Amino acid sequence: MTSMTPGSTVASATAPTRPRSSYWSHLKYVMSENPVTGLAFGLFALIILAALFGPYLVPHDPLATGVGAALQPPSLAHWFGTDHLGRDVFSRVVVATRLDLLISVSAVAISFVVGSVIGSLAGYFGGWTDRITGRLVDTIMAFPLFVLAMGIVAAAGNTVENIVYATAIINLPFYARMARAEVSIRRNVGYVQAARLSGNSELRVLFGHIFPNIMPPMMVQISLNMGWAILNAAGLSFIGLGVQPPSPEWGIMVAEGANFIISGEWWLVIFPGLALMLAVFTFNLIGDGLRDLVDPQRRT
């Protein structure tokens, strides 16, 4: 019964290496199968770079007016042209990354934490917890979400923080519903029952055993949701809520440029719009890639 060498094997039992390497090989497989996902991770790195170091890298002060003549098309001096106040569009587009990302990351973080916790509790305990959170989520979902965000920002005050809260509120139902569904299908599976028999308390069963298992689909949701949160925040700025000029932000830049599109000054709209689109596209691609990684069968 004891012909084995205890120390070594158990040490490796607590620090598994094999599964990790298989995870990486799976990742490599997904990458090679779908090179677009590789591209998405490259773009992602670029966006993070722009958000972190953008203000130190750009050639001009994004707020400085008259660094060039007004409304100049793209040139070597001003890669993305200049706007009606003679500001450098390229500098503004790059610097805007930080603000746009900051808004969406904070909003998604809030809605993920709050949503997944209340969703998990509702899915695990059912009963009144479920009914109350269900009613809350249903009420949020009863509004067209962008319209609700408009209403919240209009009522609570036209500030960047309120944009974050409004975006968090309208994203909350997705996490709550997903966490609830994923938890409730697992609340009586074998390993959860076994965890109860092993003496785990209900909360430990929920957050120690079940929650790590619902993380993969939640990660996919986070990534897909990031894109949507960026779109949403930009949409609110576009109609004049939240971020105020002259702050560089993609939604506002498109809104300002909109007045010039019918007279042909396309660069004011196209460059910030493309930046916005690219950011959203990147997060959506990563989300799709993660979905493949997490569940090859559910590939859509």
Partner 1 sequence: MSLALKARKVGLRLLEAIPTVIGILVVCFLLTRALPGDPAAYFAGPMADAESIEQVRRNLGLDQPLPVQFVNYVTDLLTGNLGMAISTGQPVVAELATRLPASLELTLGALLLSFLIAVPLGVMAATRPNTWVDHLCRFLVTAGVSLPTFFTGLALMYIFYYLLGWAPAPMGRIDMMYLPPETVTGFYTIDTLIAGDWETFRAAIAQMALPLITLALFTLAPIARMTRAAMLQTLGSEFVRTARAAGLNGRRVLVTYAFRNALLPVVTTLGMVFSFLLGANVLVEKVFAWPGIGSFAVEALVVSDYAAVQGFVLSMALLFVLLNLLIDVIYTLIDPRVGEES
Partner 2 sequence: MTIPLLDVQHLSVDFATRNGTVRAIDDISLVVGKGETLGIVGESGSGKSVTSYAVMRILDRAGRIAGGRITYGGMALHKARERDMRDIRGREISMVFQNPRAALNPIRRIGQQVADVLVQHSQATRGNAREKAVEMLRAVKIRDPEQRYDAYPFELSGGMCQRVVIAIALACRPRLLIADEPTTGLDVTTQKAVMDLIVDLTREYDMSTILITHDLGLAAAYCDRLVVMEKGRIVEANGSAELFHGAREAYTRQLLQATPRIDSEVRDLLPAALRATAMPLPETHDVGEPLLTVKGLKKQFGKPGADNGHLAVQDLSFTIREGESLGLVGESGCGKSTTSAMVMRLLDTTGGAIEFLGEDIAAIPAAKFAAHPLRGKLQMVFQDPTDSLNPRWSAAQSIGDPLQRLASHMNRQQREARILELAALVGLPVNLLDRFPHQLSGGQKARVGIARAIALDPRLLILDEPTAALDVSVQAIVLNLLEDLKHRLGMSYLFISHDLNVVRLLCDRIMVMQNGAIVEEGNARQLLAAPATDYTRTLLAAIPHPPQAAAND
Candidate ranges 102-110, 188-196, 204-212, 265-273; the one touching partner 1 (CB under 8 A): 265-273
Q: What Cα–Cα distance (Å) separates residue 52 from each residue in 45, 92, 171, 252, 278?
A: 11, 14, 25, 21, 17
Closer to partner 2 by Cβ: residue 87 or 209: 209
Q: Please say which residue, 123 or 227, places its beta carbon nearer to partner 1.
A: 227
Under rule CB under 8 A, residue 105 binds partner 1: no
Nearer to partner 2, 139 or 201 (CB): 201
Part of the chain binding partner 2 (CB under 8 A), chosen from 7-15, 40-48, 69-77, 166-174: 7-15
Task: Tell me the window of 77-85, 143-151, 207-215, 241-249 that interacts with partner 2 (CB under 8 A).
Answer: 207-215
Residue 35 as a binder of partner 2 (CB under 8 A): the answer is no
Cβ-based nearer residue to partner 2, 78 or 186: 186
Report the amino acid identity of residue 142.
A
- Give the pair of three-digit tokens for residue 275: 């930046």
Structure tokens of 13? 């039992």
Residue 231 touches which of partner 2, partner 1, none (Cβ within 5-8 Å per kind): partner 1
CB 262 within 8 A of CB 88: no
> Which residues on adjacent β-strands are paired with residue 82?
88
Task: Collect all residues with Cβ–Cβ distance below 8 Å to 209 and sequence separation of at least 6.
Answer: 191, 192, 195, 200
Report how many residues bind partner 1 under the rule CB under 8 A: 49
Reply yes or no: is the peptide bond before residue 245 cis, omega within 30 of 0.
no
264 scored as a contact of partner 1 (CB under 8 A): yes
Q: Is the peptide bond before 217 cis (omega within 30 degrees of 0)?
A: no
Q: Which residue is listed with tokens 């953008």?
A: 54
Q: Give backbone dihedrals phi and psi of 82, rounded to 5 degrees, phi first.
A: -125, 160
Residue 210: which of 195, 199, 198 has the closest Cα?
Answer: 195
Residues 133-192 that bind partner 2 (CB under 8 A): 189-191
Residue closer to partner 1 by CB (options 50, 280) is 280
Residue 252 DSSP one-character state: H
* Per CB under 8 A, 107 contacts partner 1: no
Closest contact distance (angstroms) between CB of 14 and partner 2 is: 7
| Residues of the shown chain interacting with partner 1 in the complex, contacts defined by CB under 8 A | 135, 138-139, 141-148, 150-152, 154-157, 227-228, 231, 234-235, 238-241, 251, 254-255, 257-258, 261-264, 266, 269-270, 273, 276-277, 280-281, 284-285, 288, 298, 300
